[in-house]
Each structure stands twice: as C-alpha cells, then as structure tokens.
C-alpha cells in the first residue's frame, strides 16, 4: 500500500461522535437563541444526527445527556437510532443544573446532596446498560468561589469516594471518562481543574477510568498537545471533547480559533498511537451553536477534524525524526509546517467519493431539503435546549 493509499484508508475509518445537545437551542449565560426547526425530543435529535452521518460518513454515534435526553425506554431509543444508521454513544451526566448543587454535587458538604449526585451517576450506568453505551462521561461544576468556603482537601476526599462507588458499578466493556475544567462556574477553586487532578483520580481508580481532554477547558497559552502526548504515553487518554475558544470555554466550532493547534493535537494523537478504533481514544464534539445553523455547523466541525487529521497523517515522520536526531531545529519545524500547509481538501473529496458520498457534504446537505423540511414540520411542542 502506498503512503497516500494508507492515509486515505485511515481517514475512511475515522469516527467523530456528535453531541445530542448541539442540535438543540443553546446560547450564553445571558440568552438562549431559539431557531426554527430545532428538535423537540431525543428522537428528532437522532434524526438530525443521522443526516450529519449521511453526508460526512464519519459521525456514526451520538452522545446523550441525562436528563436532557431522558426517555422512558432507552433500549427503544437505541433501536430507533439504529434504524437511522447511527448508534448511541457516551452517556453524559448532569450534576450542575439542580438547585441542590449550588455548593457542589459529588463534592458537596452535605451527604444527602452527595448521595443524590452519586445516585444520578449510577442511573447513567443503568442507561448505558440499556443503550449498549461503553462510556460514562463525567464533568463536575463543583468548586468554591471564596477562600475558606469549604475544605479543599475534604472535597477531594468526597470526590474520590463518589467516583469509587460509581467505578465499582461499571460493567464489562464500560469505562468512566473524567473531564476537567480550570474554572467556571467556580472561580476560586475547581474540584477537577486540570489534567493532573483528573489523572490522579483515574490512576487510583483503575484501568476503566480515563481522562477526557476538552480543548476549550484550558488557560490561554496552555500546550494542549503536550497534555495529549503525556496522557497517551501513560495509557490514560480516554477521549476528546472537541471545540474551540478564543478566551475560555467558548464552545465554538472545533478549529475555528486556532486550526494549527488542532493539527498539532492530532499529530500527537497519530504519533502516540491514539488514532483508530483499537486505540480506545474517543473523538467527540462538545459545542454550542448559538447563532449559526446547527446541522451545517456540526457538519463543518466534523470536516475540520477530518482536515486536521489528514494533515497529521501526512507528516513525514521519518524526515521529522531524522531532523530531530540531528538537532536541525528549522528542518524539523519545516517538516511539520509542510504537512500543515498542505491543502487536503482535494484528498478528502477523493476519500468521500470512494466512500460513495458526495465530495462536498455542506453543499449536499443544502440540496437535500432537510433544513426546509424540519422548519415546516417541527411546529408546536417545546424545543430542546439546555436553558441557560
């Protein structure tokens, strides 16, 4: 197999999970902007997700968020997804929107609130059993706003205790993915603020606990690709929440602010053996499309990940390694820049054509009439959204 053929073959195996909540109404802390045609229930979200997969060919799974996607019969929901050509993916917990969680959830000083939070996480594992999902994704808004508000060390003890109970409930083939965020909504301390804290808890829990890297959850200037390389080296990178940010957790389309950073991240993924189903690294979107049309934005995001991946696969690793060994600083940098500056859009058009897809997913979606159809038909009822 030629090098180019190998790159094309790898790209055809790519899988990017889309988030159910991105199809609903979302916004900022100040306002949620409603759009016509937005899904009103989880099934309509799956209908939209199926369209993204139909036109990209690499978005076969859909993450759920509980209770935003709560239904009476999760097995039936999984069957509905399958009938539309997609599967249910990670189950995302929600321990940040109830009034009880004002001072935290799993780290709350009140044992009754902690019990409520852990019970919700256990419920999410039950849902995984029903849907066939392998991943439980955990993000906690827990933290404090003022010095002395709570005991920082005790909160870590509570966190460890709650995680251990949920970890013990995981079944065969299931795992726990722990996400971190350096600030917001807590502004003095956050209980899982960085990859080191997440890694420490996952290491203690065992092999079924791994770290999720949300690309928007870092301070400006953070070298995210170094974190990725380190977690891969330690076998603890469970997956990504891809988005983009200019300032903090903006949740913009992946690659929007800094496509070069996305390329650098994907190079470390490829270099570290994190690309491909056998690696166990999950590639998920976690975005809020506030002012742009939902489905085209998600299609564009998937395409952005594809482009960064293609460039990462095109890096001449032999030439790069030789330049690094020789201490050729400019030469090594040039190898990376040559790959990054390659226009991979013609290559991806070829790949899509060989997969039986339209080479231009956005144009194909626009011609499909789906946008007009959902605006005309999704009238009445309550639109899905996360209600900021």
Contacts 24+ apart (CB under 8 A), 146-151: 146/188, 147/188, 149/188, 150/103, 150/104, 150/109
Q: Which CATH class is domain 8-314?
A: alpha beta
Residue 170 scores a pLDDT above 70: yes
**357-374 pLDDT, tens digit each:** 999 999 999 999 999 999
Q: What is the pTM of this model?
A: 0.97
Please report which confidence band the pLDDT of residue 1 belongs to, taking 50, 70 and 90 as the band edges.
low
Q: Quick one: how far is CA 338 from the chain centroid?
A: 28
**Angstrom distance (rounded) from CA 181 to CA 26:** 20
Q: Where are the domains of the chain?
A: 8-314
Q: Cα–Cα distance between 36 and 67 in angstroms, integer?
A: 23
Q: pLDDT for 151-166, tens place per residue?
A: 999 999 999 999 999 9
- pLDDT per position as a tens digit, 328-350: 999 999 999 999 999 999 999 99
Distance CA 35, CA 235 (A): 42
Q: Using alpha carbons only, give the angle 101, 88, 193 rounded to the nearest 5 degrees.
A: 35
Does residue 387 carry a pLDDT above 70?
no
Strand partners, 91: 64, 136
What's the mean pLDDT in 26-34?
83
Residue 188 CA to its chain's centroid (Å): 26
- For the chain, the straight-line distance linking the first and the last C-alpha, in angstroms and rounded, comes to 51
**pLDDT for 4 beyond 60:** yes
């Amino acid at each position: 197999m030629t090098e180019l053929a190998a790159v094309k073959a790898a790209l055809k195996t790519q899988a990017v999970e889309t988030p159910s909540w991105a199809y609903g109404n979302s916004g900022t802390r100040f306002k949620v902007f409603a759009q016509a045609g937005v899904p009103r229930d989880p099934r309509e979200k799956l209908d939209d997700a199926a369209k993204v997969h139909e036109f990209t060919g690499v978005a076969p799974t859909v993450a759920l968020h509980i209770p935003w996607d709560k239904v009476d019969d999760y097995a039936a929901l999984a069957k509905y997804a399958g009938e539309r050509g997609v599967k249910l993916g990670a189950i995302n917990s929600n321990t940040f929107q109830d009034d009880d969680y004002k001072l935290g959830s799993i780290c709350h000083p009140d044992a009754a609130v902690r019990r409520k939070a852990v019970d919700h996480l256990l419920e999410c594992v039950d849902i995984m059993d029903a849907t066939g999902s392998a991943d439980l994704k955990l993000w906690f808004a827990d933290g404090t706003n003022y010095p002395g508000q709570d005991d920082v060390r005790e909160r870590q003890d509570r966190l460890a205790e709650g995680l251990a109970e949920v970890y013990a409930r995981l079944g065969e083939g299931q795992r726990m993915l722990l996400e971190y965020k350096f600030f917001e909504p807590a502004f003095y301390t956050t209980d899982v603020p960085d990859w080191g804290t997440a890694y420490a808890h996952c290491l203690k829990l065992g092999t079924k606990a791994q770290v999720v890297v949300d690309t928007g959850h870092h301070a400006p200037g953070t070298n995210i690709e170094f974190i990725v390389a380190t977690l891969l080296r330690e076998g603890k990178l469970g997956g990504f929440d891809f988005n983009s940010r200019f300032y903090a957790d903006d949740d913009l389309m992946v690659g929007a602010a800094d496509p070069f950073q996305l390329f650098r991240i994907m190079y470390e993924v490829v270099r570290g053996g994190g690309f491909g189903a056998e690696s166990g690294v999950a590639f998920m979107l976690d975005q809020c499309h506030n002012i742009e049309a939902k489905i085209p934005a998600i299609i564009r995001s998937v395409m952005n990940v594809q482009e960064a991946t293609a460039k990462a696969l095109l890096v001449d690793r032999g030439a790069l390694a030789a330049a690094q060994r020789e201490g050729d600083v400019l030469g090594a940098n040039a190898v990376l820049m040559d790959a990054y500056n390659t226009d991979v859009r013609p290559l991806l058009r070829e790949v899509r054509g060989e997969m039986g897809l339209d080479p231009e997913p956005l144009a194909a979606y626009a011609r499909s009439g789906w946008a007009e159809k959902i605006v005309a038909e999704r009238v009445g009822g309550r639109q899905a959204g996360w209600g900021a």
